[in-house]
Structure 1
């Protein structure tokens, strides 16, 4: 028993957190500083040459942020992690060392609308492109990969519908192609799903959501599995070839399993500058301490609400994967054995106008563009989070005009249901 690894509940509190060496403070301090004093000139040179690990400037490294990075790497089972200012920033940081002009990423068609927009339009300014594929069609995923594909991207539990991706099958495809699988694990969190155990190379999060859990700060993180051979096929020169800015240093040769982590800090944060501030890191650390407790309640409430909605005659369908009627129900026990999270959609038989009336009639629910809060949240995805998508993209993502998205919070489940019931009565009158 003495050699047994600590459990998740212990790690979410203690990983990365040590008493402050200067003051003995038990909670991770907020190191609110821009720069750090070097011991001497040789120390400064060693840090800038990546010959020694330490703190230079808070755009790159900060002790509060470092504690959060260690905690996230530990909870996801990764070798290292790099935090940044948002989930969108994390996605860009994950792709940045892998991509180049003329290269592409094969992505699931079931993604958060902002991600679809980022991949459809913004990354084109770098000369990159994305191919969107139904990830339930494994043959189509494999066929979409070509000689210029440098990554495969999906969400473990897709936003907005809560669809669960078969990560084992997708990772087998990316492995055969010799390219990394990047998984957005925002909706599941590492408590419900650990994508690295299913073959993911990199895991990204919007820490804004369930990890922080209370809608106070934005933040993103990329977790590096440390398991990918960046030098195997010559497709990733940023990792395997000499880096001019560091006098010919080769990241994979020098840092081994931490090659991506060091590259993301030394080049990604240095040049893209999407730094997570220490105050936000502190709030996120506090949120993670109760992650498992919150996720259990989120899932339990979601099951109750989804079951109630499915039995209501005003509802056309409910997409929650935790329902036995869901085509993704069998994946829950394999991919997310502790639950299917609390994000899902439902369609109203009376269509779009009823959706609008419903949202305008809720009292307990908050009508906001967020998810994973302690509060229950509601939104019409087609006109907001997925507004910039084409009708075909909206349909593929599960954000049709007759669909409402729910993020079930931690309130009493009966109160959540009562609010939906009274709002539905007004919307479908």
Structure 2
């Protein structure tokens, strides 16, 4: 079978598609997690908390699709990446899944009983379901940038020598806090769009302003770490971009500041960090001007830029190894076969527009502000 796209091009396309799926998840499910992380702080009464919960009640389940698509795409397009990350970071993944389970359970059970203690406990469970995954996702990105302690033998069998506590270093915690601030800003600006103006709306805007400043400061500190910290990697020699998928045919070595070399080689990549800084600034302007669409749009652009900066900095490396220079995973060495990537691309070109169109339609149909009066008069709300 003659494939119209060469192997190198398909690999780059799928590298970009994985990034798009991760950004889609961070933007859509990000405001869900941000809302639940803010729940105990922006809402004081039971009615206020129910109003906050119902800003995401109509769409949160559909937003999980991006998470599932991202995991499935990594499994199919980058099997080595899936095998190393999901086995090496197993305990961290378990923590994420257990905390994420609290969200649907909390949404369904919180209002089943009227006792204050019952509802308060579920409110904190929802907070955990929003805060913990966001923190761990950021810490995971920090570990990807720092490198993971794994090696592949000559038969490509994986040995991982890390532990759960080893995932937390000053740099990875910084990445985790950046993730939290980014998602809290997204959640706060979403509440600005969805809540009727009142006390909860005002509190949300205040939290959003603080989170926006935190995103800018923490993102800048991340670049300082990459510039002056002992963090970074570089590919040694030339690697055939269209060669066979075997991670051991490339060598990647540590190099302080190595993640910033792409910006000198490809100046157009500066678009990503510029958007990463400009997005939160735009969100702050929107919050100051009380323009909720501008604030939410700026926050979403910021997420795009921050996640895009990670991809731009690392390309073509996907996951570097701290134990073995010949075990790191690259775009050119860790993908599925040429035919597999092509067939998957065809399926994606058919179904991804359908998912996007359906998601846009759902948001359009179900969009509207939630207020205390809605909670009092609508029996279908949580």
* TMscore range, shorter length: under 0.3
Higher relative contact order (CA 8 A, sep 6+): 2
* TM-score normalized by the length of structure 1: 0.22
When the two structures are superposed, what TM-score results if normalisation uses the length of structure 2?
0.24
Larger helix fraction of residues: 2
Instruction: Return the structure number with greater strand share.
Output: 1
